[in-house]
């Protein structure tokens, strides 16, 4: 397998960290994106101790200057990026749709929608330098209108305005980038890691981080003939 250079945002813990571990085990070079330098460095040291090629990249995905600095460092040290995994995200409040504050919804959108746009646009020159690459948006099944509007589906009962709609919007962002970048052999897809036990949900999820990361790793491992403009859960297509 050809070694890829891979950036994962929000990777100092949980699904992002496990994704870095699994991709590192496949022999890829991992840039572990973390807003908190100390926590990111601790995560890097754990993975390097396991024998993986991992480097820390301090990046705050909601800050233009931080993203520009991250791009500059990667340009200087690697000059290319094969796979960008937009993993960083936040849940926001759990209020009823009629009661959730607009300020809270805006905060959710800043991280879950606008940040992936910002990061993808900023790193596109490095993806282009790789001669084709992949962008993976870590979405959620709660962003599937088909699932949350189906009374027979478990997600029908989860009616969180800010978070759910932010992931639906992220899926639309995926389609937009996929359509534009197809001619440049840059594939863009969304992935649902499933309801995973993480700090994100108070460890209430039924899936492990290992299970969640596997679907992301599958997309990251695709070659130039792989899919683009899709939404996947455990390698199966999810309805928009």
Who contacts 37 (Cβ-Cβ below 8 Å, separation ≥6)? Answer: 56, 58
Q: Give the Å distances, CA to CA, from 167 to 46, 191, 202.
A: 31, 11, 20
163 catalytic residue (yes or no): yes
Q: Give the Å distances, CA to CA, from 14 to 40, 223, 225.
A: 12, 26, 30
Give the other-Cβ count within 10 Å of 113's Cβ. Answer: 20
Q: Phi, psi (5° rounding) for residue 58?
A: -70, 120
C-alpha dihedral sign at 28, 29, 34, 39: positive
State the Rg of the chain over Cα.
17
Catalytic member of 163, 195, 206, 232: 163
Q: Which residues have a catalytic role annotated?
A: 163
């Amino acid at each position: 397998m050809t070694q890829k250079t891979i950036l994962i945002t929000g990777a100092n813990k949980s699904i992002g960290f496990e994704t870095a571990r699994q991709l590192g085990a496949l022999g890829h070079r991992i840039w572990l994106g973390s807003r908190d330098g100390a926590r990111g460095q601790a995560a890097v040291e754990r993975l390097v101790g396991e024998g993986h090629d991992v480097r820390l990249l301090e990046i705050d995905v909601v800050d233009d200057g931080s993203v520009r600095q991250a791009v500059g460092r990667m340009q200087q040290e690697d000059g290319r990026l094969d796979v960008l995994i937009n993993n960083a995200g936040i849940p926001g409040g759990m209020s009823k749709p009629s009661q959730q504050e607009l300020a809270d919804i805006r905060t959710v959108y800043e991280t879950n929608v606008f940040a992936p746009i910002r990061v993808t646009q900023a790193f596109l020159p490095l993806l282009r330098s790789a001669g084709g690459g992949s962008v993976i948006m870590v979405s959620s099944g709660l962003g599937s209108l088909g699932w949350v509007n189906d009374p027979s589906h478990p997600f029908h009962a989860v009616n969180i305005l800010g978070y759910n709609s932010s992931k639906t919007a992220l899926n639309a962002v995926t389609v937009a980038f996929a359509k534009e970048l197809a001619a440049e052999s840059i594939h863009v897809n969304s992935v649902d890691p499933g309801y995973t036990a993480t700090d994100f949900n108070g460890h209430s999820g039924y899936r492990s981080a290992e299970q969640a990361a596997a679907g992301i790793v599958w997309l990251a491992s695709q070659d130039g003939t792989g899919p683009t403009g899709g939404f996947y859960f455990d390698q199966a297509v999810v309805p928009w």
